[in-house]
Structure 1
Amino acid sequence: MKNFIYVLLLGLFIYSCGSSRDRNLKDSKLGNDTVRIANDSLEYEIIIIEPGFNLFINSVAKPEGYYSQQYLESKNRVLVSEYNSRVRQPQAYDPNLYLQEINYEPRIDYGYEVNYLLYNYFVYFSRHYEQRFSVPTRI
């Protein structure tokens, strides 16, 4: 069975189909805001479908190599844990934002690129949707 990082595969796909503020449906239909990374040997896949994320990663985010992989992994462990906690509390957090848990196993080495994109997705998510996490997501 493959380990999938689902938050952005199914959850954001469904979310991107709904209405939300500042959504540019033209871009999502064209696929301009889809980022996909997969590695069959490690059995993981991450797909980020979020209007504006591609622009963010290419213009606002710190470049790859700026953070160490260890730094990104430690941030992602905390951020994923908090995100998943919010998914399990739909009465306290908007269920339209927190759709599905992220399957992120700290013991698995996902590599730099996945950790980089996941961390930057949290930065984007916290800025775009004005969400605060216990670990600051700054650039």
Structure 2
Amino acid sequence: MKRIFYVLGLLLVTTLTIGSCGGTKDTVSITEAEKKAFQQEEGDTLKIADEETEYEIIIIEPGFQTWLQSIARPEGYYSQTFLETRNRIYVTNWNNRALSPMQFDPNLYQMQINYEPNIDYGYEVNYKLYNYFIYFQRKYNQRLGPFLPRI
């Protein structure tokens, strides 16, 4: 089976402080259930594999699997086209940040993601990758695209 990428979560995260410039900010409200998933400290490892396409993702992030099962929209909610479009945007921004450790926290963006837009990874891989990006943005207060990371 081909491994296309690993997304490594952080076991220890430096507290990020985001200052205000006096302008209005878009905010995402975090529910108590999400906060509980974000505070989970035990390691979660989620392996996403598509047997038909032979691609897989391994995500190591405390709380992600709990969040995926209890908070995220269910499989089938989004179309594969929607997921692929968003994943392209998120992967591009993620990789740009991974390549700029002086500008972006290298503890958050530890490695690049090898996601090729011309490869069909299947629904499950795209669904779980998309949801990891939503989880990541909400947990670490990051923006990987022009839209708010909503559930």
What is the TM-score when the length of structure 1 is the normalising length? Answer: 0.82
- Give, in whole Å, the separation in 2 of the partners of 1:58 and 1:135: 26
- Give, in whole Å, the separation in 2 of the partners of 1:23 and 1:61: 17
Corresponding position of 2:121: 110
Matches within 5 A, 1:43-58: 43-58=54-69
Q: CA deviation at 1:133?
A: 2.0
CA deviation string 1:69-128 (max 9, x = no partner): 000000000110000000001011000000000000111111000100000001000010
CA RMSD of aligned residues (A): 2.0
- Give, in whole Å, the separation in 2 of the partners of 1:38 and 1:57: 16
Question: For this pair of structures, how many residues does the alignment match?
Answer: 127
Tell me if the contact between 1:83 and 1:98 (Cα under 8 Å) persists in the aligned partners: yes
Q: Structure 1 108/57 Cα, relative in aligned 2: closer, same or farther at 3 Å?
A: same
- Give, in whole Å, the separation in 1 of the partners of 2:39 and 2:60: 12
Corresponding position of 2:5: 5
Give aligned-pair identity as a percent: 53
- Give, in whole Å, the separation in 2 of the partners of 1:64 and 1:135: 24
Name the structure with the higher helix share: 1
The answer for unaligned runs of 5 or more in structure 2 is 16-37
SS class of match (1:5): strand
What letter matches 1:37 in structure 2? Answer: I
The answer for unaligned runs of 5 or more in structure 1 is none
- Give, in whole Å, the separation in 1 of the partners of 2:64 and 2:128: 10
CA deviation string 1:12-47 (max 9, x = no partner): 3xx43xx2267644x21xxxx221122466342201
